[in-house]
Amino acid sequence: MQTLQTFFEAHPVVAVALSGGVDSTYLFYEASRYAKQVHGYFLETPFQPARERRDVERIAALVDAPVTVLSKDVLADAAVAENGSRRCYWCKRSLFSCLCEAAAKDGFSVVLDGTNASDDITDRPGMQALEEFGVLSPLRLCGMTKAKIRASARAAGLFTADKPAYACLATRVPTGEPITYAALQCIEQAEDVLDRLGFSDYRVRLYHGAARIQLPESQLARVIELRQEILTALQPSFEAVLLDLQPRP
């Protein structure tokens, strides 16, 4: 199986789709080491919290490689806003259509994403869209698992090495329930509250107008300690604030 070094020797001029997570930032770091020319692209959408852009800007400064921030209103696409079972496919089509067009204008015909060898691509409708646009996934092609990526990122000194996996804000809205800007804003603000209070690997899911908080088991007790502070911050935006006693894995 090829290595990332040999991959970039075969693909020396690349554009990298950046999300702010450990996979894409590690890929960007390796591309900056081995590719002759690399350019990152971050898509700013209603589905991405502001902190993800900040992490992308930090990694760009760290590896000293250029990043372009693109804006895309994915909710303008009815197939995305309706939030059906194929939402991820339609969203990825919208995003990568924008990204690939921008990359092509900048002279980059090879576009990469951070899908890794641990990802179950049979359960990710968005992968179909990536294949349709010819997007390559070097981490998966080179057999890089999530555990191996984290270890390699840690060895490289990347601040994202232990960053929890983060799915887009659209996943907080139940499938079949239309996604609105107002709902996304409330969810992002609620998760920002948990972030400021020192929680990690959290989710705030919309549940019949309520906020359903999900956390790892080790953090559940602390929610009770900070109960009033969390209620005060979240109650104005939600009909109720619920704690899911089934911990996140």
Tens digit of pLDDT for each residue in 174-230? 999 999 999 999 999 999 999 999 999 999 999 999 999 999 999 999 999 999 999
Band of residue 127 on the pLDDT scale cut at 50, 70, 90:
confident
* 29 membership: H or E segment, kind and range: helix 22-34
Tens digit of pLDDT for each residue in 84-106? 999 999 999 999 999 999 999 99
Question: Homologous superfamily of 4-155 in CATH?
Answer: HUPs (3.40.50.620)
> Where in the chain are the domains?
4-155, 180-243
Q: State the Cα–Cα distance between residues 72 and 186, nearest whole angstrom.
A: 20
The answer to whether residues 64 and 93 touch, using CB atoms and an 8 Å cutoff, is no
Band of residue 165 on the pLDDT scale cut at 50, 70, 90:
confident
Contacts of 140 (CB under 8 A, 6+ apart): 115, 116, 117, 119, 121
Burial of 232 (0-12, 13-18, 19+ CB in 10 A): exposed
Q: What is the fold of 180-243?
A: Alpha-Beta Plaits (3.30.70)
Identical fold at 4-155 and 180-243?
no
Whole-structure pTM value:
0.92
Tens digit of pLDDT for each residue in 144-159? 999 999 999 999 999 9
